[in-house]
Amino acid sequence: MPVPTAFARDQWYVAAYGSEVGGEEILARTVCGEPMALYRTPDGHAVALADRCVHRRYPLSEGTLEDGRLVCGYHGFTYDRAGACVSVPGQTRVPRTARVTSYPLAELDGFVWVWIGDPARADVSAVPRAPWLADPAWTVVRGMEPLNARYGLLVDNLLDLSHETFLHAGYIGTPEVAATPITTEADEERGIVRVSRHMDDAECPPFYADSTGLKGRVSRWQDIEYHAPCLYLLHSRIAPVGSVPGADGSDPDAFHTEVAYAITPSTETTTYDFWLVARDFAREDEGVSAFLHDFNRTVVLQDVTALDILERVTAEEEGRRVQELSIGIDAGGLAARRVLERMIARSAKRDEGAPAAGVPGAATAAVAVAPEAGAAR
């Protein structure tokens, strides 16, 4: 089963960080092949409209904002946040079909999530959560790197961290990562894959040694939770060898980082790689923040370089009979491929006969907005 290139529809995807949406700026992003223009109304609501004017298809992201309405930069068609055109130049009558898709949107945990699929199925309670990313008890560094590779390659990469030993040697990889077996479980119905690797006596890589002060051998746990298709969580624990959490969950000798990725397909061969590192230690230390930001970005860029290469060779081999050889370390990645294929097949089946998204005149989304407290900026 190759990595998928098709998109699972009827799913939530991260289009942006909340902090990227606001002010006079209109942000252009393409999610699952759908170009969208993101902006914020004066009352703080983030909006995502299809990024093509209904008139001559000029990108709305090239327009301007006036009192929370988006004015097309070409001839001035003006849209409200539900995507309805409220004025056109040269006439008072606005054609009934003058409207663009307004994507259902939820702003949670610092992310702007958009719903790709049938708006009637958008359920904000189904957005997977990562609460520590917007919790003042945690300090977060983050970034986003665009990837010239299909999203399935990034899913594969993140579900199998044995690559840390080789691709990230001297950064986050040590011999024990590749040497330690994993346990994997998949809840295919809910689209969740869990992969755990507990190293009880391992070298402490610079990423953790320099940020925590722990030196020498450590206990290092990696517990992955992938909420397909978009959200990847890595619960990471570093502690002195022999230290284990108490029965009540207390873990005073350990350092915890909550690493998150939002894996958002842009086109079939490009991806947004949103990455975040939240920590519960040295929370006020800006030196530690700068170190973790720069260090993690370097590690992400090592993946980006490798995955861009892999995309090139995968594309060259398209249509040829090529075979991969999977082993034990691939259990998580293979489970994720199965979960994704199932989601893709399900949504394709539901989509049969449904009108294409973004078509002018198609039913416009009932916008399910869940503005985050303090989101206005």
Residues in touch with ligand FES (CB under 6 A): 53, 55-56, 58, 72, 74-77
DSSP per-residue string spanning 216-271: SEEEEEEEEEEETTTEEEEEEEEEETT----TTS--TT-EEEEEEEEEEEEETTEE
Number of H helices, E strands in the chain: 6, 17
Who contacts 135 (Cβ-Cβ below 8 Å, separation ≥6)?
A: 278
Per CB under 5 A, 258 contacts Fe ion: no
CB nearer to Fe ion: pick between 10 and 303: 303
CB nearer to ligand FES: pick between 74 and 281: 74
Helices 331-351 and 151-159, interaxial angle, to 10°?
150
Who contacts 304 (Cβ-Cβ below 8 Å, separation ≥6)?
A: 145, 147, 273
CB nearer to Fe ion: pick between 177 and 367: 177
Task: Please state, as a whole number, how many other Cβ atoms lie within 10 Å of the Cβ of residue 178.
Answer: 16
Find the helix or strand (DSSP H, E) in which 306 lies.
helix 286-316
Question: Considering only residues 302-341, where is the footprint of Fe ion by CB under 5 A?
Answer: 303
Q: φ, ψ for residue 301 (rounded to 5)?
A: -70, -30
303 interface partner picked from ligand FES, Fe ion, none, CB below 5 to 8 A per type: Fe ion
* Least separation in angstroms between CB 156 and ligand FES: 40
* Least separation in angstroms between CB 101 and ligand FES: 15
Give the C-alpha separation, 11 to 16, whole Å.
16
* Least separation in angstroms between CB 56 and ligand FES: 4
CB nearer to ligand FES: pick between 90 and 170: 90
DSSP letter (8 states) at residue 19:
G
CB nearer to ligand FES: pick between 72 and 238: 72
Say how many CA atoms lie within 13 Å of 132 toward its Cβ: 19
Q: Where are the beta strands (DSSP E) in the chain?
A: 11-17, 27-31, 34-40, 46-50, 64-66, 69-71, 78-79, 85-87, 105-108, 111-116, 139-147, 183-187, 192-203, 217-227, 231-240, 255-267, 270-279
215 interface partner picked from Fe ion, ligand FES, none, CB below 5 to 8 A per type: none
* Least separation in angstroms between CB 218 and ligand FES: 58
Per CB under 5 A, 160 contacts Fe ion: no
* b/e sequence 212-236, b meaning 16+ C-beta within 10 Å: bebeebbbbbbebbbbbbbbbbbbb
Give the C-alpha separation, 201 to 176, whole Å.
8
CB nearer to ligand FES: pick between 66 and 318: 66
Per CB under 5 A, 273 contacts Fe ion: no
CB nearer to ligand FES: pick between 62 and 268: 62
* Least separation in angstroms between CB 120 and ligand FES: 28
75 interface partner picked from Fe ion, ligand FES, none, CB below 5 to 8 A per type: ligand FES
CB nearer to ligand FES: pick between 77 and 138: 77
* Least separation in angstroms between CB 224 and Fe ion: 12
Structure token digits, residue 285: 């230390």
235 interface partner picked from Fe ion, ligand FES, none, CB below 5 to 8 A per type: none
* Least separation in angstroms between CB 74 and ligand FES: 4
Helices 286-316 and 151-159, interaxial angle, to 10°?
120
* Least separation in angstroms between CB 130 and ligand FES: 37
Part in contact with Fe ion (CB under 5 A); list of ranges 204-212, 221-229, 244-252, 295-303: 295-303
56 interface partner picked from Fe ion, ligand FES, none, CB below 5 to 8 A per type: ligand FES
* Least separation in angstroms between CB 263 and Fe ion: 13
Who contacts 294 (Cβ-Cβ below 8 Å, separation ≥6)?
A: none
CB nearer to ligand FES: pick between 55 and 198: 55
Part in contact with Fe ion (CB under 5 A); list of ranges 173-181, 220-228, 263-271, 297-305: 297-305
312 interface partner picked from ligand FES, Fe ion, none, CB below 5 to 8 A per type: none
Give me the residues that bind Fe ion (CB under 5 A), please: 303
